Structure 1
């Protein structure tokens, strides 16, 4: 009887120690409908968040108080701050570069307060500056994870290789589990994918049957990802490429269990 009670207690404790989280990754095309020039997409993106209720979200191609945002929204708009207001989440902007009187880069939303770090990624061949933004997220009172978002160079393979090497170096000694999401601008047959795979697992591959993410009207490639740092116990419950056309990329929704 004592053995049975101990076994039941162990099983209950194991279940209790598992945490389920839902994550969204989305390249939002600077807040504009990709195929309807001048039409805002923030209400559509906010509606998507309010429907699926992710705990964490990573956004790429984010404008912050740019002239471009004013031309689309008729008022200078901080996209992440406005999205946070419309969803009741906490917003963080990671500026990769100055752009049109404001900033352009990455954004994160979380359902709990957190602190963000922004790191500029290397661009040895030049081209657009790129950033990595990450937060220390309180999964529970006793467990924390790191959640990161980025958008890698779309122009030069040499830049992408340098950027994934820098990402690997950044999180090499990080003790909590790390989740990295974003539009990485490479396909699984390329060298940056191989380099990242040395330290991370591709969530869609772990789940099986990975889906194409770009372009939204005629998907031909998979360049939007969720990566899970090796050395930690992640269970990939689900990976969905959602059927919405608010941008030129499809949004990716990931459900994980973390031990």
Structure 2
């Protein structure tokens, strides 16, 4: 009888490890304002602390400088990679201030493949970063301020993903509120995993939600959200990050 009880407990523990290790992902999207907070202080360490508190699998970052003068020629994403112990992947959108400006990923595991696809932006070029992992695909973007460009970007993203068999996550600053035409277009193919009631900007007194983590459902992928919320960080950036713990079904 004792042997059966021990075996049952071992089997239960194996199930927990399998769910937590393979099916459950901790994800974040964070517009980091090139590391400058609302107190106008450049501080990479406090951005890293926000990330390290969550033990994340993947973080989508927007407004990421690379060796620009305003950040003292520092490699922001590279430094965050060292501070968090995570792999880093950068996609520059424009040349800026002696360096580059764009988006990036921090990830616990090294991606199997990376794609960088330009997106439209009349005020400045935009970028889509796609990272393929063993069990899923993770995309990061920072959409244009212009609604027409956003809608064109949605069409392009959906076209890129139409033959994808793995579950896909899309995270970023979409510059669109939940009831906007842009988000309505996204919701034809994606589900919003972070919810839509949590406000993300401005960080000190949030009034709007424009930062999201989406799950692609057009290929019949399904997701169960364990928890989701806007992280209470009012100073480190002008945005608050969004966090999702999600299980791929």
Q: Compute the TM-score of the two structures, normalised by the length of structure 2.
A: 0.88
1:14 to partner: Cα distance: 8.2
Aligned partners of 1:121, 1:57: CA distance in 2, in Å? 20
- Whether contact under 8 Å (2:194, 2:242) holds in the other structure is no
2:215 aligned residue (209, 223, 228): 228
Q: Which runs of 5+ in 2 are unaligned?
A: 1-7
Tell me if 1:23 matches 2:27.
Answer: yes
8 Å Cα contact 2:223/2:246 also seen in 1 = yes
Q: Is the 1:107–1:149 Cα contact (8 Å) retained in structure 2? A: yes
Secondary structure of 1:52's aligned partner = coil
Residue 101 in structure 1 maps to residue 101 in structure 2: no
**Stretches of 4+ moved more than 2 A in 1?**
11-18
Cα RMSD after superposing both structures = 1.9
User: Which residues in structure 2 correspond to 1:177-216 (within 5 Å)?
Assistant: 177-205=167-195, 210-216=197-203
Mapped partners of 1:96, 1:79: distance in 2: 15
User: Aligned residue for 2:164?
Assistant: 174
Task: Give the 5 Å matches for 1:107-256.
Answer: 107-114=104-111, 115-123=113-121, 126-138=122-134, 144-154=135-145, 156-205=146-195, 210-230=197-217, 231-245=220-234, 246-256=236-246
CA distance in 1, matches of 2:137, 2:69: 33
Post-superposition offset of 1:237:
0.7
Secondary structure, counterpart of 1:133 in structure 2: strand
User: Which segments of 5 or more consecutive residues in structure 1 lack a partner in the other structure?
Assistant: 1-7, 71-75, 139-143
Instruction: Please state if 1:67 is matched with 2:69.
Output: yes
Note the C-alpha offset of 1:41.
Answer: 2.6
* 3-state SS of 1:25 partner: strand
Contact 1:122 1:166 in 2 (8 A): no
Report how many aligned residue pairs link the two structures. 232
Q: Is the 2:78–2:88 contact (alpha carbons within 8 Å) kept by the matching residues of 1? A: yes
